[in-house]
């Protein structure tokens, strides 16, 4: 297995396949590298090296019982990039991982990365006093965390339809079940603490970001409202922003073909500029 040991002694698992320009994939809250399986196959066939990390407490990585704050999660990504000596890499994230990526670039710089793509990103700020009306407030966060801690399987089942919009997107019951099963592999402590980890203000970090960025958001996202993608794109100079009509939060699955086409176009355009 592909593993490395972080600076705080945690062993993390990652998938690494293919040859060529590297793409580093980072999954959403509760998900692991398995979320990117189809993307890795697709981009490997197009001459890229594809790497996807299991966040600590998720998948095959260690569950150390600590380190679920944004700084440490960002350091994990940076240390993987250093371990593999990635150069001219592309980073592709979904949901919560956009915040981890922004913090990684703020703490460690952009020297290893050429461009980034954020799918359904988190809000620029969840901090009270700087939070926009459409981003989750602290009281709502506390209610969600309590429900997750009390009965995670029930909470996942109750939110699956909004996440995938299966009746409209053709997502099968089997894929919904597969996603839930992947999440149930994760540490409950990791899930709870990572859910809270995004409650930060990253507006200054976003404004200072200096690499080409693609943001894709769906206008039927019930988890991270579309206004978040719009606000994030407005903060990062030169961002290319794409809004998908009818797309839910799980658009990485429901709109796979369109996303890979848009990412490939973005890579080609920014490489030529």
pLDDT in tens, 29-76: 999 999 999 999 999 999 999 999 999 999 999 999 999 999 999 999
Marked catalytic residue, from 32, 54, 62, 221: 221
Residue with token string 């903060």:
235
Respond yes or no: is residue 249 known to be catalytic: yes
Respond yes or no: is residue 161 known to be catalytic: no
Confidence category of residue 1, pLDDT binned at 50, 70, 90:
low
What pTM value is reported for the model?
Answer: 0.97
Q: What is the mean pLDDT of residues 217-244?
A: 97
* CB 225, CB 126: distance < 8 Å: no
Q: Check residues 270 and 188 and name the one with the higher pLDDT.
A: 188
Respond yes or no: is residue 221 known to be catalytic: yes
Marked catalytic residue, from 28, 33, 61, 95: 95
pLDDT computed for residue 54 by the predictor: 98
The pLDDT mean for the chain works out to: 97
% pLDDT > 70, the chain: 99
% pLDDT > 90, the chain: 95
- Sign (positive or negative) of CA dihedral 142, 146, 152, 154: negative
Per-residue model confidence as pLDDT tens digits over 84-109:
999 999 999 999 999 999 999 999 99
Per-residue pLDDT at 272 exceeds 90: no
Per-residue model confidence as pLDDT tens digits over 140-187:
999 999 999 999 999 999 999 999 999 999 999 999 999 999 999 999
| Torsion angle of C-alpha atoms 68, 71, 77, 80, degrees rounded to 10 | -100
Report the DSSP beta bridge partners of residue 113. 89
* CB 49, CB 16: distance < 8 Å: yes
Marked catalytic residue, from 94, 217, 249, 253: 249
């Amino acid at each position: 297995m592909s593993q490395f040991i972080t600076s705080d002694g945690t062993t993390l698992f990652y998938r690494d396949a293919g040859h060529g320009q590297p793409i580093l994939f980072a999954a959403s809250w509760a998900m692991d590298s398995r979320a990117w399986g189809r993307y890795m196959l697709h981009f490997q066939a197009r001459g890229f090296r594809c790497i996807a990390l299991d966040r600590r407490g998720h998948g095959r990585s260690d569950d150390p019982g600590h380190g679920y704050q944004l700084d440490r999660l960002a350091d994990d990504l940076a240390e993987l990039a250093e371990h593999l000596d990635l150069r001219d890499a592309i980073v592709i994230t979904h949901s919560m991982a956009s915040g981890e990526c922004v913090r990684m670039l703020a703490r460690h710089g952009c020297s290893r990365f050429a461009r980034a793509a954020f799918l359904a990103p988190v809000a620029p700020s969840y901090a009270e006093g700087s939070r926009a009306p459409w981003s989750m407030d602290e009281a709502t966060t506390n209610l969600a965390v309590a429900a997750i801690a009390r009965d995670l399987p029930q909470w996942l089942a109750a939110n699956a339809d909004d996440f995938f919009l299966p009746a409209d997107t053709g997502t099968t019951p089997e894929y919904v079940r597969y996603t839930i099963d992947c999440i149930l592999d994760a540490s409950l402590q990791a899930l709870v603490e990572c859910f809270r980890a995004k409650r930060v203000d990253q507006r200054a970090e976003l404004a200072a970001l200096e690499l080409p960025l693609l943001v894709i958001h769906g206008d039927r996202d019930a988890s991270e409202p579309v206004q978040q993608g719009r606000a994030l794109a407005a903060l990062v100079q030169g961002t290319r922003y794409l809004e998908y009509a009818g797309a839910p939060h799980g658009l990485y699955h429901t709109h796979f073909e369109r996303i890979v086409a848009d990412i490939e176009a973005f890579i080609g355009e920014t490489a030529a500029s």
